[in-house]
A and B are shown apart, each in its own frame.
Chain A
Amino acid sequence: MDNDTKILTAALVLMLIAFPLTAIGSEQEITALWVVGLVVLAVGALIPPITRYASPGDDDDGDGDG
């Protein structure tokens, strides 16, 4: 598995983890839990745009992976 895939998989996992954290946190009124859920989602969502500028081969001409 290449690095880009690993990074995006990590981002995806973080975004998915936000679901149980925000659901249980808000339903059970555990503020810390849903706050962590929001933070985890934000971190996961930040990764792909950041990698756009971090990885030198990732140009803006829309040429895909395939």
Chain B
Amino acid sequence: MNQSDVPLDIFHWLLALSPVIVLLVLLAVLRWKAPQAGPVGLFVAAAVALVAFRTPWDTLAVSVGKGVWDAIFILFVVWPALLLYRVTDRAGAFDALRRGITKFSKNDLFLVLAFGWVFASFLQGIAGFGTPIAVVAPLLLAIGVKPVMAVVIPLIGHAWANMFGTLAVGWLATLQVVDIEDQTRTAFETAILLWIPNLAAGLFIAWLVGRGKGIVHGLPMIGAITLVHGGVQLVLTLWNPVLSNFLAATAAMVVLYPLSRWKRYSEEFPDEALVMKGSGDDGDGGTDEVDEEKEKQKAKPPMGLAMAFLPYVVLTLTSVFALVIPPVEDALETVEVGLGFPAVDTGYDVTEEAEDPYSPFAPFTHPGFFLLLSSAVAYGVYRSKGFYEEWGEEVEESGSITTSVFSDAAPASVAVVSFLVLSKIMDHSGQTDTLALGLAEVAPAPVFAFFASWIGVLGAFMTSSNTASNVLFAPLQQTVAEAEGLSEASIIAAQSTGGAVGNAIAPANVVLGTGTAGIVGQEGQVLRKTLPWSVGVTVLVGAATVLLTQIA
């Protein structure tokens, strides 16, 4: 992309910012639902592109097409994840999970941290593309967490794992777009900065559960897990960044077992867990939900814990088998689909190369495929054992599995498509460049070092992807770092960490969570929790980046 001629005055900068502001105001202030707010943001971005950024109609058409295609990658997680949820829920598996896990540990704080932080990070390590949110939100609901919190917690818990997660797809993509002089040092500094959102996630989730008492009670667990997550990843980046997150997240899963045997975490949390349904804190479940919950608590689930975990075991095993063994992955990746797009430009010489095919889609290595596979196995086994009939007699459910999936997935999908098209329009019209370059132009070196991670957050907010954020902004960050005499490694590390943190507030991720938790329309409430966390963490990351650049 040619970034040299985009306008860098305050007028254009504010105009470029307007789609993001409109989106935030509609979602967080006016409390519009995401499928309604997303299209409005899309139209604002298109209007700004056409009127103020000299974007021809054909460039707009190409950006729209690419945006829809990018959204399909996410929709292939949304729909299968919702299907898996409904397939298991209708068989009584979620109630079995809740009962079974409660026998394993009665400690709400331990359970919330184990699912929302440790398991979510593990899923990000192997699958990504929003899978941790789509899978963990229903699991948290199953153990009795309030719907909004069930979305907030995995959003925050998985964020740190985005950069080196999914077998380091973000890192590999970064290496494709920038020529990094010292890759080991860059990966190492990235791991240092990523430790901040990791620790902050553990502490914040514990605070959500029990405020100060939650943090004190959870401290040994948080300390042990963050040491494994952050420490193992840090050391492994020196050897193999591709496996660093996967191995760190897997090791943390192993550490859960001895922790659960410790009396401190096997017995009940001594205070009120504020994230659980029925607690005294702000409620987010309706009367119908509470009634439904009471009905389910009386009913006896038709299966045990092991059978309830079956789909998740299948999901983990198939993902690991297909993505960690190179010959299997290579074979599955031979099937790719996609369409080409021609080269386009704007009146400000923002150019996009022709791509044929554009971002080809390999369905058999996509997490959506493994979710579908798990759903099919679960449905077959549960059906053959008669669990649907048994659970149907205990609990009254309205509509079929298909109807339920459509009613959850359709609104979430409209929002996801809108956000991704908005993002692509901003990118192809040069609005994204104006935002980032404008910030870089007015900021002296230390100030830019501080704000480098904010640019990463912006990219992830717009694209819901650490990888896409780095592809968008890593070249710019490298150029500015060189011009300002800053350490390239530290600035790329800041960009990458910002890209990870931004996933906690990315609208498409939020909608993915609200969709799977059945609370589409409450995105504003989710953002009101994840936004302050993201801002706080990014301030810390910014300060740490300034330190790193001073040491360098």
Contact = CB atoms under 8 A, between A and B. Distances in A.
Interface stretch (B37-45, B165-173, B236-244): B37-45
Given A1-B407, A15-B421, A60-B32, 12 more contacts: A5-B411, A8-B414, A22-B64, A23-B340, A24-B339, A27-B340, A27-B342, A31-B58, A34-B62, A38-B57, A45-B418, A64-B33
Interface in B176-206: none
A62 B64 contact: no
Interface residues of B, number: 53
A41 B64 contact: yes
B406 A34 contact: no
A64 B513 CA distance: 13
A60 B32 CA distance: 6
A12 B410 contact: yes
B286 interface: yes
Nearest to B356: A27
B147 interface: yes
Given A41-B68, A66-B147, A20 B32 contact: no
Contacts of A22: 61-62, 64-65, 68
B518 A65 contact: yes
B550 to A, nearest CB: 44
Interface in A8-56: 8-9, 11-12, 15-16, 18-27, 29, 31, 34-35, 37-38, 41-42, 44-46, 48-49, 51-52
Contact of A37 (B61, B342, B410): B61
A51 to B, nearest CB: 8
Contacts of B65: 18-19, 21-23, 26, 34, 37
Contacts of A42: 43
A66 B520 contact: yes
B31 A64 contact: no
B253 to A, nearest CB: 29
A25 B342 CA distance: 10
A41 B520 CA distance: 22
Contact of A35 (B61, B358, B408, B524): B61
Nearest to B37: A49
A48 B520 contact: no
Contact of A9 (B60, B72, B410, B518): B410
Interface of B: 30-33, 35-36, 38-40, 42-43, 57-58, 60-62, 64-65, 68-69, 72, 147, 286, 289, 339-342, 344, 356, 358, 399, 403, 406-408, 410-411, 413-414, 417-418, 421, 514, 517-525
Interface of A: 1-2, 4-5, 8-9, 11-12, 15-16, 18-27, 29, 31, 34-35, 37-38, 41-42, 44-46, 48-49, 51-52, 60-66
A38 B39 CA distance: 13
Majority secondary structure of chain B interface residues (helix, strand, loop or mixed): helix
A62 B36 contact: no
Contacts of B33: 48, 52, 62, 64
Contact of A46 (B39, B519, B520, B522): B39
Nearest 4 pairs of A and B residues by beta carbon: A66-B518, A22-B65, A64-B521, A62-B31
Contacts of A45: 39, 42-43, 418, 421
Given A23-B339, A23-B340, A26-B341, A18 B522 contact: no
Nearest to A46: B39
A62 B527 CA distance: 12
A48 B39 contact: yes
A42 to B, nearest CB: 8
B92 to A, nearest CB: 19
B61 to A, nearest CB: 4
A15 B417 contact: yes
Contacts of A19: 65, 68-69, 72, 339
Nearest to A42: B43
Given A23-B339, A27-B339, A16 B406 contact: no
B193 to A, nearest CB: 34
The residue in A12, A38, A60, A61 that gathers the most chain B C-beta atoms within 10 A of its C-beta is A12
B141 to A, nearest CB: 10
B282 to A, nearest CB: 13
Nearest to B358: A23
Contacts of B30: 60
15 contacts: A1-B406, A5-B406, A8-B35, A26-B62, A34-B61, A34-B62, A37-B64, A38-B60, A41-B68, A45-B42, A46-B39, A52-B32, A63-B521, A65-B521, A66-B520
A15 B414 contact: yes
B428 to A, nearest CB: 12
B94 to A, nearest CB: 14
Question: Residue among B33, B358, B518, B525 with the most chain A CB within 10 A?
Answer: B33
Contact of B417 (A16, A20, A25, A49): A16
Nearest to A19: B68
B407 A16 contact: no
A66 B398 CA distance: 13
B36 A64 contact: no
Contacts of A64: 33, 514, 518-522
